[in-house]
Amino acid sequence: MKGQLMALAVGIIIGGAVGKVVSSLVADILMPVISLALPGGEWRAAKIVLSRATGPDGKEVINAINVGTFIGNVIDFAVIAFVVFMIAKAFLKEEPKIG
C-alpha cells in the first residue's frame, strides 16, 4: 500500500512538472510560430465585443467574449494531452514475451 501511495505522489509531482514544461513549449515556442501564419499576429487577444459602455469613473467598459483566449487554451490542452498520452503509452508498453 505504501509503495502505491508513493508511486501516486511521484506521478502527481512529475505530471505537474511535465505540465509546466509542455505549457511553456506551447506558449513560448509553438504559439509565436502559429501567430506568424495568422493575420493580426496577436490572435489570443481576439474577442467578440457584445457591448461598450462608459463606467462611473469615465473609463470605457467593454463586455466581450474572449474567443482568442478560449482557442489558445483548447490548443494548449490538446498539446498537453497528446504529450501526456505519449508518455503514458511509453511507460505502459508491454515487454515482449519470449516463447
- Phi, psi dihedral angles at 48 (to 5 degrees): -105, 110
Instruction: Report the Cα–Cα distance between both ends of the chain, in Å, rounded.
Output: 33
Q: Which of 2-6, 15-19, 52-56 has the highest mean pLDDT?
A: 52-56
DSSP 35: H
- CA torsion, ordered 77, 82, 88, 94, to nearest 10 deg: 160
* Per-residue pLDDT at 54 exceeds 80: yes
* Domain covering 2-91 in this structure, CATH number: 1.10.1200.120
The secondary element (H helix, E strand) that includes residue 81 is helix 67-91
* Per-residue pLDDT at 34 exceeds 80: no
Cell of 93: 508498453
